[in-house]
Amino acid sequence: MPELPEVETTVRDLNFIKNLIIKKINLYRKDIRYPIPKKIIKISKNQKILKTYRIGKYIIINLDNLYSIVIHLGMSGRLKLLNRNQKPDKHDHVELLLSNNQKIIFNDPRRFGLIDILKTPFLKNSKYFLNQGIDPFDKMFNANYLYKRISNSQSNIKAIIMNQKIILGIGNIYASEILFDSKISPLKRGRRINKGEAIKLLRSIKKILLKAINNKGSTLRDYSRIYGTLGNYQNIFKVYNKEGDYILINKMRGKIIRITQNGRSTFYCPLFQK
């Protein structure tokens, strides 16, 4: 599933569409995670794009008529940039035809993504963003906030940092990498995390996500940038998908193991993560 770094990379790749006009939207398949509202065609037609940005794992495209297109890539979704005369491929569900003779395509083989259109002033009160957590790069995301949300929790720390009502954008891949970097076991309960560990965890969250963004995200299966190029962070994973490998730190050799938590694989090194 595309996580914060992949979504942020996609948003940055889309910066060029600012001030372009959406000439037309074509819907090839509407029965994805939620039905795509047919009104998106009429509302978006001939509207100027004012801004693209990210809220958690959601891509937001502001239009000049005070509406916004909301996109979530789901498990396997991605956006593609093509010339307008190129025919749609399998799993291309939506086309945004732009005034520069290019088009943005929403491709989603597993159809867990979503596209919606909402009034911009009411975005934050929509079902997608109500009761959400704080973005890791928001100035309000600090050690005090993190420790307060962790310290009374009976949940394991991996589940806590993946909880979108606490922290936005962290999924299974980066949770394992973040916890290894902070040297915290994914099995540790939130209530057993002390303030010093919370500070280390905060630093690791920002560090790993920023490093992944700078490497254009991670390509494991479906994700690629809008140009078709791949992310690079998967080439420098420390623990994710590295079961059985060994890590050498300060002349100590630790083995990476895989466990299952909440139905998902977790990779970590018990020697270095306590």
8 is catalytic: no
Alpha helices in the chain (DSSP H): 4-13, 39-44, 143-150, 157-161, 172-182, 195-214
Catalytic residue among 5, 6, 8, 57: 57
Catalytic residue among 2, 5, 136, 186: 2
Tell me if 168 sits within 8 A of 162, measured CB to CB: no
Residue 30 CA to residue 114 CA, distance in Å, equals 10
90: Cβ contacts below 8 Å, ≥ 6 apart: 109
57 is catalytic: yes
2 is catalytic: yes
Catalytic residue among 3, 6, 8, 197: 3
Residue 215 CA to residue 173 CA, distance in Å, equals 15
With vertex at residue 273, the alpha carbon angle to CA 168 and CA 153, rounded to the nearest 5 degrees, is: 45
177 is catalytic: no
Residue 41 CA to residue 273 CA, distance in Å, equals 51
Compute φ and ψ for 236, nearest 5 degrees: -125, 20
Structure tokens, 23: 């000439």
Residue 62 CA to residue 15 CA, distance in Å, equals 12
Distances in Å between the Cα of 82 and the Cα atoms of 56, 110, 248 are 26, 21, 45
10 Å Cβ neighbour count for 214? Answer: 12
Catalytic residue among 111, 238, 258, 264: 264
Tell me if 238 sits within 8 A of 212, measured CB to CB: no
Could you give the residue numbers annotated as active site? 2-3, 57, 264
